Copies of this chain bind each other. A is one copy, B any other.
Amino acid sequence: MKKVVTFGELLMCLSTPGAQRLKQASNLEVDFGGAEANVAVSLAQFGDNVSFVSRVPANDLGERALMAVRQFNVNTENVRWGGKRLGLYFFENGAVYRPSQVIYDREHSSISEIKKGEFDWETIFQDADWFHWTGITPALSEQAAEVTLEALIAARKLGLKISGDYNYRSSLWNWGKSAAEVMPELLQYCDIMSGVHPDVDVLKAGVKEEDFRQAGDEMLSKYPNCKLVVFTTRGSHSASHNTWSGSIYDGNKVFSSKTYDLTHIVDRVGGGDSFMAALIYALRHYDDLQQVVDFAAGASALKHFVPGDGNICSIEEVESLLQNVNGLIKR
C-alpha cells in the first residue's frame, strides 16, 4: 500500500505530573507532539506506511524529537536538520473547573524559519497517495505558509488525495497576515476538510443534522475541490467530563457516529488529530462512510484515555470498543 505524508511542526511537550500546576512542579514529563505528527503516529500504529516531514534543530533535542515518532514506526527520513530551536509547549492538565493550560513557546522554531525550496516535494511524495496538513503550519510564519503551499501544489500535481484540518488557534497567527487572508488559497487544494464547527451550543441545543449540512455546504461551495467535510463535536461539561462524536458530510448525506460519554478524561490533547488519523485510515481501508465515521469517532474517544498527544491504540482496540466491551479487564 502507498504511504501517507504529513507535514508540520514537532514540539517538545513539557507537562506537569498528575494534577500539579506549573507553579508547583519540580519535574516535568517529556513528550513530543504536534497536530501532524500525532496523525502520523496514530496512522503508523494502525499499520499504515507513514512519512512525517518537518524540520528540527541539529542537536540532541531535535534527535530526541525524531526518536519519539520513529519508535512508533513513522518514517523520518524526510525531516531536515537546521534552525536554532525546537518548538516547545508547557502543559498543565486540568480537572473539572480548572481548565487545562497550554503555554506555547514555539516562536523562532526550526520549522518556522524553513525556506522555500528546502524540501524536494516530488521526491517526498514518491510512492505516496495521501497528504495531510493543518492550519497550524501556515500560522507559524510566512515561510511556513509558503512551504505549505509549495507542498499542496506538488501533492495536487502528483495526484495525491489531500486532507486539511483548519485547526484555528488565534494565539498562533502573529506573523502579519490573518488566517482569513492565508487559509482560503491553501484550502482550495483539499479533498477532505475538517476543523470547522457548526455554531451551536453542543450541550444545551445539541447539534442537528441540519447544522452539519449547513456548515458543510458552506465549505463545499467555497472550496469546489472538496468532497467531504468532517466534524468532531465536543460537549464540555467540565475539564474532566466531555461528550464526543464525529460526523461526515459528503454534500448529500450526514453520517454521524454515536456520542461517547467521556466521564473521567485522562488527556484530551490530540483528540481532533486522533479523529483525523482514524478517518484517513478508514477512508483508505473501508468503503462505507458510516463505518468510516464510526471508526474515527471510536478511535478518538479512546484517545481521551491515553496520556500524551498521540493515539497509540491499535485497530484491534478500536474494533473492540466498537463491539461494545464495557471496560472489562483484558487478560
- Most central of A30, A203, A267 by chain B CB within 10 Å: A30
B86, B240, B329: the one contacting A327 at CB < 8 Å is B240
Q: Which residues of B contact A94 (CB under 8 A)?
A: 305, 327, 329
Task: Flag if B236 contacts A328 (CB, 8 Å).
Answer: yes
B14, B268, B326: the one contacting A238 at CB < 8 Å is B326
A117 shortest CB reach to chain B, Å = 25
Interface hit among A57-65, A142-150, A152-160, A217-225: A57-65
B19, B71, B329: the one contacting A268 at CB < 8 Å is B329
Interface hit among A119-127, A205-213, A257-265: A257-265
Give Cα A271–Cα B302 distance, bound, in whole angstroms. 25
Q: Which residues of B contact A26 (CB under 8 A)?
A: 26, 29-30
B22, B67, B260: the one contacting A60 at CB < 8 Å is B22
Give Cα A86–Cα B97 distance, bound, in whole angstroms. 28
A321 on the B face (CB < 8 A): yes
A81 on the B face (CB < 8 A): no
- Most central of A20, A30, A99, A266 by chain B CB within 10 Å: A99
Task: Flag if B24 contacts A27 (CB, 8 Å).
Answer: no
Q: Per-position contact with B for A91-121: 1 when CB-CB < 8 Å, else 0?
A: 0101111111111110110000000000000
A279-331, CB < 8 A from B: 301-302, 304-308, 312-313, 317, 320-321, 325-331
Task: Flag if A18 contacts B18 (CB, 8 Å).
Answer: yes
Q: Per-position contact with B for A25-41: 1 when CB-CB < 8 Å, else 0?
A: 11111100000000000
A237 on the B face (CB < 8 A): yes
The chain B residue sitting closest to A91, CB to CB, is: B329
Q: Which residues of B contact A305 (CB under 8 A)?
A: 19, 94-98, 239
**14 A–B contacts, CB within 8 A, in A order:** A19-B266, A21-B312, A23-B63, A27-B30, A60-B103, A70-B70, A96-B327, A98-B302, A98-B327, A100-B327, A101-B331, A102-B329, A171-B331, A238-B326
The interface of chain A, by Cβ under 8 A from chain B, is 14, 17-30, 59-61, 63-64, 67-68, 70-73, 84-86, 88, 90, 92, 94-105, 107-108, 169, 171, 203, 236-241, 260, 262-269, 301-302, 304-308, 312-313, 317, 320-321, 325-331
